[in-house]
Structure formats: structure tokens, C-alpha cells
Amino acid sequence: MSKTLFEKIIDRELPATIVYEDELCVAFRDINPGAPTHILLVPRQPMVKLSDAEPSDQALLGHLMLTAPKIAAAEGYGDAFRLVVNNGAAAGQSVFHLHLHILAGRPMKWPPG
């Protein structure tokens, strides 16, 4: 099976503006931003979508949720950000490697979809 775009970024086979990384995840700027700050937070471990997660993935998913606010704060947004996960093509997922969108820098409207 071929690597996803995000796996190639994680493996440094494709360029990206990486803003954070640790042993479990990598965060980089979206090339088609939906907000002034739009960062994608991806686990190093391949997972197609959130609904594919297993109970054994709980620590990884928790790590992602705790890492997103740290990244937003480092970008200067404190607790003023939106976190989005698109699950499946019908929900707008276009790269099939779980990723969280960290959006900030403009007023967010509700509902988002």
C-alpha cells in the first residue's frame, strides 16, 4: 500500500512547514488554509479515520487532544481556537490519515458546516 501525503511529510519525503513534533505526532501548516492559522496535527501512527480507532488508541487520541492547545498557545492564540476532525469522505476528509485541524486567527461561526 502506498504512503499517504501525510506519511510522506512525516518521513520528510515531502516538504512542509513543521511547527511541532514529538514521538507520537507531527504538526504542520496547511497549504490551503481555512483561517489565518491552520495547522494539521497528525499522529505518526497511520490511522485512516477517527472511527477506525480502537480502545488501544485512547492514549494516542488523548495525546493529540492535549497537544492541540499547546500548539495554539505557541501560535499566540491561547484558548481561542477551533479543533476539527473530518471523518470520512462525506464529512470532507480528503487525506485518509487521521488529522486534526487547528484553526485560529479569525472569528469562527456556528454551525461550521
**Active site residue ranges:** 99
Q: Check if the beta carbon of residue 105 is closer than 8 Å to that of residue 76.
A: no
DSSP 63: H
Q: What is the DSSP letter of 79?
A: T
| Rounded distance between C-alpha atoms, residue 91 and residue 107, angstroms | 22
Please say whether the beta carbons of 92 and 66 come within 8 A. Answer: no
